A = this chain, B = another copy of it.
Amino acid sequence: MSLLNLVLQSAEANDPLHKTISCFAINQIASATPPRPHAFSLWSPVAKPAAPDQQGPVCDYTSWPGLTDRSFSGRHLRPAAQSEIDALPSNASCDPAAGQLGPVTALFQRTQMQTGRSSVLFSYFAQWFTDSFLRTSSTDRRKNTSNHEIDLCQIYGLTEDTTRVLRSMQGGKLSSQIVEGEEYPDTLFEPVPGDGLRPKARYASLPYVASGQIDTILKQQRVPAERKARLYATGLERGNSSIGYAAMSTLFLREHNRLCEGLSAAHPDWDDERLFQTARLINIAMLLRIVIEDYINHIAGHKLFVFDNSYAERQNWYRTNWMAVEFDLLYRWHGLVPDTVDVGGKKYEPSEFQSNNALLEQLGVAALLDGASNEAAGKIGLFNTPHFLLWAECQSVKMGRDFRLQGFNAYRERFSLPRLTDWDQLTSDALVKDSLKSLYRDIDQLELVVGLLAEQARDGALFGSLMTTMVAVDAFTQALTNPLLSTHVYNADTLTDYGLAQIDATPSLQALAARNLKPGQQARISFDR
C-alpha cells in the first residue's frame, strides 16, 4: 500500500489534482483482482439445503447458471479442497447461548472494549448501507436477495410493487408521519379494536409482512411487545433493527420528500409519478456521493476519493454488479458496536436501541446522530466482538468453512498482496499472535474470516491491508458501475438542473442531514468521533 499512501499524501497537499489522483488510485485498487464475472459462484445443482445453516452444498466447477444466476452470491476464488477445511482447528462446540464459544470463536470475544478513530455514527451507517446489498437469504445462505445495486432499497424496497406500497402517490412523496414536529416513516401496524396489533391493510402485501418474516425477526430479537406499535413501514425486513438504522432511513426519506417539493417548484406540470421517479434518482446519486466522499474516505483515513463518473466506463473493471460471498463475510464489523451508547448524557445498552423507534422519536434524529458522532465506536479486529454478537461469529466461521473458502494467504495473492510467511508480518499484537499460533499449523492455514480481522491496521487505516483492499475493490467496482452514473445517463436530462445542484451541495452526510433536521436543531454528524 506504499504507493497508495504516497498518492494519498500528495492528494491532500495538492487539491487541484484531486480528480486525477482519485482516478489513478481507484483504478489501481479496482484492478487488484480479476474483474467479474467470476468463474465460480455459490450456485450448486442441489435444491436448497434442508436447514439454512446446513453444510454447503458447493460446486467445484464452472457452469452456465454459476456464470449468470445472480440470485446466488458470487465468489472471488474457487472452493478449497474439503481436506483443507477438515484440517482446520475444530470450532464445533460453538454455542454462545450455552456459554460455549469454541476455540475459533473465542478469538473474537471482547474482554475490554478497544476503540478506534470511528464514531458510532459510522457503525450505524455501515450497518444500514450494507443491509441493502449484502443480503444473505435467511432460508438459503447461497443466495443474496438484493438487486446487487446501491439502490436505497432501505426506503424504496427491492421491487416496484414494494415501492408503490411505500409511496403516498401524492406529489411524488413517500408515505410518512409527523411526530413531535419531525417526519418519520409511517407506522407498519395498527391497533386491533379490542386487543393487539395488525399490519395496516395497505402494508399487508409488503414481502416481509405477507410472508410472516417480520414476526420471525421480532421473535428472534426478543422485541418487547410494546415496541411493535412504533415499527416503521420500510423497504426491507430489517428496517427497524436498530434506531441508528431507522434514523438513516428517516434522513433519506425526508430528503426524498424535500426533493419532491423542490422538483415540483421547478416543474409545476410534473405528475406524482415523474416527481417520485426523479427524486429517487437524485437521492440515489447523493447516497453514492456520500459513500465515496464521506464513508470511503473515512475508511481510507484521507479525503482523497472524489465522486467522479468520468472514467469508470472505460476501465476493464467496469462490469455487471454481483455481490460475492467473501464481501458479505468480511463486512461483519461487530467490533464497531460499543457496550453502551451515550445520548444526551444518558447511557443506553445496545438492546435498548433494537426496534425501539419510540426512543428515536423521543430523542429526535438530531440528538441521536449528534450523540452517535461524538461516541467512539469499537475497533474492528479480533477480541472485540460484544458478547451478544458472538453467535454471529460462530455463523461466519461456519459459513466460511461450509462454502470451503480458501485461506487468508490465497486471498492476499488474489488481491495482489504478497503472501505472508510469518506471524510477525501479520501483527505485532502478542495476544493475537500467540492465540493464532496455538490454533493454526502455520500462517498458510489461517482462515479468511479470522485473518481479515487479525491483520494489524497500519498507517491510519481502519483495518489490515487485505480487508482494506477487498472492501475498496468491491466498493469502487460496485458503486461506480451504478447504471445511474453512466455518462450517457448522469446529466440534467435525467436528474434536472435542480437535482444536479442538490447533489453538488451534498459532499457529506452532514450536508444531507443539516437540511433535514427539525428547524432550529443542529447536530455534528461525522464518521470521525
* CB-CB under 8 A for A147 and B274, given A34-B488, A39-B494: no
* Contacts A45-B273, A61-B277 given; does A488 touch B151 at CB 8 Å: no
Contact partner of A160 (CB less than 8 A), chosen from B65, B277, B483, is B65
Q: Is the CB of B61 within 8 A of A278?
A: yes
With known contacts A65-B160, A68-B483, A313–B281 Cβ distance under 8 A: no
Contact status of A313 and B494, CB under 8 A, knowing A61-B278, A160-B69? no
Contact of A62 among B35, B68, B318, B489 (CB under 8 A): B489
The listed residue with most B CB atoms (<10 A of its CB), out of A63, A151, A313, A318, is: A63
Stoichiometry, copies per complex = 2
Interface flag for A397 (CB, 8 Å): no
* A489: min CB distance to chain B, Å: 5
Q: Is A143 engaged at the interface, CB distance under 8 Å to the other chain?
A: no
Cα A284 to Cα B62 in complex, Å, equals 13
Interface residues of A in 27-44 (CB under 8 A from B): 34-35, 37-39
0/1 per residue, A482-505, Cβ < 8 Å to B? 011010110001100000000000
Please give the number of chain A residues whose Cβ is less than 8 angstroms from any Cβ of chain B in the complex.
Answer: 38
**A39 CB contacts on chain B under 8 angstroms:** 488-489, 493-494
B483 close to A281 (CB less than 8 A): no
Contact mask for chain A residues 432-474; partner B; CB cutoff 8 A; 1 contact, 0 none: 0000000000000000000000000000000000000000000
A314 at the interface (CB under 8 A from B): yes
> Assuming A69-B160, A277-B45, is B151 touching A62 (CB within 8 A)?
no
B483, A67: Cβ atoms closer than 8 Å = yes
A93 on interface, CB distance cutoff 8 Å: no
Complex contact A277–B64 (CB within 8 A)? yes
Q: How far is the CB of A518 from chain B (nearest CB, A)?
A: 29
Contact yes or no, B313 A151, CB < 8 A: no
Q: A280 interface residue, CB < 8 Å from B? A: yes
Chain B residue numbers with a CB within 8 Å of A156 are 64
Contact flags A297-319 to B (C-beta < 8 A → 1, else 0): 00000000000000001101010
The CB with the most chain B CB atoms within 10 A, among A35, A61, A64, A274, is that of A64
A-B residue pairs, 5 tightest by C-beta? A63-B277, A62-B494, A67-B483, A37-B483, A34-B488
Q: Which A residues form the contact surface with B (CB < 8 A)?
A: 34-35, 37-39, 45, 61-65, 67-69, 147, 149, 151, 156, 160, 273-274, 277-278, 280-281, 284, 313-314, 316, 318, 320, 483-484, 486, 488-489, 493-494
